[in-house]
Amino acid sequence: MNVNLKADKYKLNVVEIGEYGKVYRVKCEAEKALPHIAAGQFAHLKVPGKDLRRPICVYDSDEKYITFIIADVGEGTHAFTSQKAGAEFDAVLPLGNGFPVIPDATNIAILGGGTGCAPLLKLAKDRPGINCTALLGFPNGKAREIYRDDFDEACTRVCYCTDDGSLGYHGYPTELLTEIAPEVLYVCGAPGMMKTAKQYAKTHGVIGFASVEQRMGCGVGACLVCSIKVNRGGREQLLRACADGPVFSLEELVL
């Protein structure tokens, strides 16, 4: 069992919570120094009034602060995002396997849609100087405001794409992949986006990785609730998104 034995429990205090429609930006201060958290890893948050924790990807972090982007989509996330500044809770982190870093890659692209952009920021932020292009898709220009100027400051180039044409490119971010021609592609978003990215990577011989979004129970690989299908070693098999992922190679994901 590939359980992350380095994970620990941390007490966090909410210092800022911003609402952007049904999506929230929650910045917290840790009671003790936080470890390095790789892009794509997640935290298991204790939710008020709920027995099961909720897995939330880490958007940004340093030794003192950690920030989450959380969509209010159910009872658990609603209970969490309803908290105010000053609220305390605990989190188990870091969990899961993050995005692999390809040391000799000089041209990478991060491809995200909506809240799926959140796991991708640290890919650029943790590697200052890397030639990183962000292709980010949203329904409209207002929906990107939750990310402020974070991607603009961390990436070499940012291409905002909107369904209604109110900001940047009018269309899907996957339509710009050929123009960018990355060596390595990192993806998180809707299944359709991942399928298109997988086909692009296969056609152009690009190394690709994707972070999957999956319901989880225990978060450490014991309950098998978050099983996903992959093709590994020439055969289809079920792996755990929490302990074996949530990052997998695009090539092996069965989408």
Radius of gyration of the chain (CA): 18
- For CA atoms 94, 197, 213, 89, give the dihedral sign: positive
Residues 6 or more apart from 92 whose CB is under 8 A from it? 7, 8, 9, 10, 43, 44, 53, 219
Tens-digit pLDDT profile for the chain (255 aa)? 334 447 899 999 999 999 999 999 999 999 999 999 999 999 999 988 888 889 999 999 999 999 999 999 999 999 999 999 999 999 999 999 999 999 999 999 999 999 999 999 999 999 998 999 999 999 999 999 999 999 999 999 999 999 999 999 999 999 999 999 999 999 999 999 999 999 999 999 999 999 998 888 888 888 888 999 999 989 999 999 999 999 999 999 999
Q: What is the predicted pLDDT for the residue at 165? A: 97
For the stretch 140-157, pLDDT in tens is 999 999 999 999 999 999
pLDDT computed for residue 24 by the predictor? 97
Decide the pairing of beta strands 60-61 and 8-20.
Answer: unpaired
pLDDT tens, position by position, 63-80: 999 999 999 999 999 999
d(CA 229, CA 3): 19
Q: What is the pLDDT, as a whole number, of residue 125?
A: 96
Per-residue model confidence (pLDDT) at position 233: 87
pLDDT of residue 49: 87
